[in-house]
Amino acid sequence: MYTDKIKKILFTEEEIKKRVAELGKQITEDYRDRDLVLVCLLKGAAWFCMDLNRAIDLPCQIDFMVVSSYGNGTETSGSVKVRLDVSCDLRGKDVLLIDDIVDSGVTLGAISTMLKEHSPASVKTIALCDKADRRINGFKCDYVGFVIPDEFIVGYGLDFAQDYRNLPFIGVLKSSAYERK
Ligand code: IMP
Ligand code: MG
């Protein structure tokens, strides 16, 4: 069975739902009377972004980017490539950049810097999970769902070599599952 590859569940579907609702409420308060655009990093943040979008009680636009830094491994390659850029005009907008997880900080650090070149009113970042101990560049995420230990996690959009995104919970992958890939 697919879920046999999971060592332990970190956050259940219900816990994720509750936390996303809290974040949506906080963002609704913080962005009232602003001009909010969510920029979602595909593919991993799509699941989180769609739920967060519906938890925000404000008019809000959405855009997508595809970036990559990981290849098929479990560690960052250190450089971020933009494979699909934003298509909205971000001038004067309040951009909230969304990723599934912040680890080394390389991805959100690099992409938030790039987005500032579009002359937005502001750029902030949100990640559902944060491996705070792994940061190599001092990057600080503005909104975080869960601070997690240094373990490779999958589910709710998070993948290992493109698999496991469809798990409704977030769990730690057994090391045997990635040794076999
Ligand atoms: P960073 O650039 O090192 O901060 O890594 C951010 C990106 O790495 C995320 O967008 C994820 O795609 C990926 N990533 C980091 N840790 C994990 C993990 O535990 N599981 C799945 N993907 C991860
Ligand atoms: Mg990613």
Residues 140-154: pLDDT tens digits? 999 999 999 999 999
Amino acid at 36: L
* pLDDT reported for residue 69: 78
Residues within 5 Å of ion ligand 2 by Cβ?
44
| Band of residue 3 on the pLDDT scale cut at 50, 70, 90 | confident
Q: What is the distance between the alpha carbons of residues 16 and 25, in angstroms, rounded to a whole number?
A: 14
Residues 6+ away with beta carbon under 8 Å from 166? none
* pLDDT reported for residue 57: 98
What is the rounded average pLDDT for all residues in the chain?
Answer: 93
Query: Rounded to the nearest whole angstrom, what is the distance from the C-alpha of residue 60 to the centroid of ligand 1?
Result: 26
- For the segment 41-49, the average pLDDT, to the nearest whole number, is 98
> What are the distances in angstroms from CA 69 to CA 19, 131, 142?
27, 17, 21
Question: Is the beta carbon of 152 within 6 A of some atom in ligand 1?
Answer: yes
| Res 180 pLDDT > 80 | no
Looking at the CA of residue 101, tell me the nearest atom of ligand 1. Answer: 9
When mean pLDDT is compared across 73-77, 122-126, 138-142, the lowest value belongs to: 73-77
Question: Is the beta carbon of 68 within 6 A of some atom in ligand 1?
Answer: no
Query: Rounded to the nearest whole angstrom, what is the distance from the C-alpha of residue 179 to the centroid of ligand 2?
Result: 20
| Res 52 pLDDT > 60 | yes
Q: What is the distance between the alpha carbons of residues 132 and 70, in angstroms, rounded to a whole number?
A: 18
Q: What is the distance between the alpha carbons of residues 111 and 122, in angstroms, rounded to a whole number?
A: 14
Q: Is 103 noted as a catalytic residue in this protein?
A: yes
Let me know: does 147 contact 130? Beta carbons within 8 Å. Answer: yes
Question: Is the beta carbon of 130 within 6 A of some atom in ligand 1?
Answer: no
Q: What is the distance between the alpha carbons of residues 69 and 136, in angstroms, rounded to a whole number?
A: 15
Q: Strands 122-130 and 143-147: what pairing?
A: parallel
Q: Give the residue, out of 42, 103, 148, 163, with the most ligand 1 atoms within 8 A of its beta carbon, to mutate for a pocket test.
A: 103
Residue 160: CB atoms within 10 A of its CB come to 20
pTM of the model: 0.94
Phi, psi of 66 (to 5 degrees): -115, 120
Let me know: does 134 contact 123? Beta carbons within 8 Å. Answer: no
Q: Please tell me the chain's helix, strand, coil percentages from 3-state DSSP, rounded to the nearest 5.
A: 30, 30, 40
Q: What is the distance between the alpha carbons of residues 149 and 104, in angstroms, rounded to a whole number?
A: 13
Let me know: does 101 contact 154? Beta carbons within 8 Å. Answer: no
Q: Give the residue, out of 6, 70, 140, 166, with the most ligand 1 atoms within 8 A of its beta carbon, to mutate for a pocket test.
A: 70
Please tell me which residue, 179 or 144, carries the higher pLDDT value.
144
Annotated catalytic residue within 99, 100, 103, 159:
103
| Res 163 pLDDT > 80 | yes
Q: At which residue do the structure tokens 């600080």 appear?
A: 140
| Band of residue 74 on the pLDDT scale cut at 50, 70, 90 | low
